[in-house]
A and B are shown apart, each in its own frame.
Chain A
Amino acid sequence: MSNHYVNDFPILQKTMNGKRLVYLDNGATTQKPLSVINAVQEYYAAFNANPHRGAYELSVKATQIYEDAREKVRKFLGAEKTSEIIFTKNATESLNLLAYSYGMTFINPGDEIVISIAEHHSNIVPWQQVAKAKGATLQYLYVNEAGILTDEEIEKKISSKTKIVAVTQVSNVLGIINPIEKIVHKAHSVGAVVIVDDAQSVPHFSVDVRALDVDFLVFSGHKMLAPMGVGVLYGKEHLLDKMPPFLSGGDMIEYVWEQDTSFAPLPAKFEAGTQNVGGVLGLSAAIDYIEKVGFSNIEQIEEELIHYAIPKLWQLPFITLYGCDDLSKKTGVISFNVKDIHPHDVSSILDADGVAIRAGHHCAHPLMQYLGVNATCRASFYFYNTREDVDALINALGRVRGVLGYES
Chain B
Amino acid sequence: MNLSEIYTEIIAEHNKSKRNKKQLENPTVILKGRNPSCGDEIELALKVEKNIIQDASFTGVGCAISQASTSMMIDLIRGQTIEKAQLLIDTFLGMIKREITEEDQLEILDEAVALQNISNMPARVKCAVLSWHTLESAITTEEGKTSESSQSSH
Contacts and interface: CB of A to CB of B under 8 A. Distances in A.
Interface of A: 17, 341-345, 348-349, 351-352, 359-361, 365, 368, 374-375, 403-405
Contact of A360 (B16, B38, B61, B124): B38
Interface residues of B, number: 26
Given A360-B38, A405-B15, 10 more contacts: A341-B64, A342-B62, A344-B38, A359-B38, A361-B39, A375-B40, A403-B3, A404-B11, A404-B12, A405-B9
Contact of B13 (A361, A403, A405): A405
Q: Which 6 A-B pairs have the closest CB atoms?
A: A405-B12, A342-B63, A344-B63, A361-B39, A374-B61, A352-B3
B77 interface: no
A17 B63 CA distance: 22
Contacts of B61: 342, 374
17 contacts: A342-B40, A342-B61, A342-B64, A342-B67, A343-B63, A344-B38, A344-B40, A344-B63, A344-B65, A348-B6, A348-B124, A352-B3, A360-B37, A368-B39, A374-B40, A375-B40, A404-B15
Given A342-B62, A344-B127, A345-B63, A351 B39 contact: no
B124 A344 contact: yes
Nearest to B16: A405
Q: Is the interface of A mostly helix, strand, loop or mixed?
A: mixed
Which of A351, A361, A365, A404 has the largest number of chain B CB atoms within 10 A? A404
A352 B1 contact: yes
Given A344-B124, A405-B12, A360 B7 contact: no
Nearest to A359: B38
Interface in B92-141: 121, 123-124, 127
A343 B63 CA distance: 7
A341 B62 CA distance: 9
B23 to A, nearest CB: 19
A346 to B, nearest CB: 9
